[in-house]
Amino acid sequence: MNWEVLRRYFTRGVLLSALGLGILFTGAAAFALFWYLPAGASEAPQAALTWIPGPSNTPQPPTATQVPTSTVTPTFAPLESGELGVGSFVQIVGTEGAGLNIRSGPGLNTEVQFLGYDAEVFEVRDGPVEADGLIWWYLVTPVDKARAGWAAANYLSVVANP
């Protein structure tokens, strides 16, 4: 290696400049560490997980248990073909395009839930209930369980299972 070539770069000006830049960068790094770091950086890190001990073998006091009771399940005689009843399928007829008000309860004074259209098919789930001189049945649309309500039997016609 040729030391004579490198010696011309080791002048007093180059060495003082390198020393000055080193002091300047060290001071800037110290300034950044002490004044720009967030206050929480010097605190101990918080745990990301919390240890929850499992159950112990300590016996627990007995709790009261309910004795199962049987409830009566209503049974219905099988429907004759074309007979309107729970489990049969009906379609709306005779509204001449005006539609049938499907209500929140049996009776003409209950809230209208939605409008059922001619030829729309429903499954009968409850009824019959007599109110306001009409016989009412609880209907549910087979394709959308949210479309359900009470309808007057005068505008229903039994259809085969869809």
Residue 118 belongs to domain with CATH number: 2.30.30.40
Q: Is residue 54 part of a domain?
A: no
Contacts of 112 (CB under 8 A, 6+ apart): 101, 102, 103, 104
CA distances from 135 to 112, 122, 123 (A): 17, 16, 16
Q: Are strands 89-92 and 121-131 parallel, antiparallel or unpaired?
A: antiparallel
Q: Is residue 76 part of a domain?
A: no
pTM above 0.85, yes or no: no
Domains held by the chain: number: 2
> Which two structure tokens, joined as six digits, stand for 124?
């009968």
In the chain the first and final C-alpha atoms are separated, in Å, by: 99
Tens digits of residue pLDDT in 81-131: 667 888 889 999 989 889 999 999 999 999 999 999 998 999 999 989 999
Tally Cβ neighbours within 10 Å of residue 122. 26
Element spanning 135, H or E: strand 134-141
Name the residue range of residue 117's domain: 89-159
In a domain, 73, yes or no: no
Say if 70 falls within a structural domain: no
> For residue range 78-87, what is the model confidence (pLDDT) as tens digits?
555 667 888 8
Q: Does residue 114 lie in a domain region?
A: yes
In a domain, 11, yes or no: yes
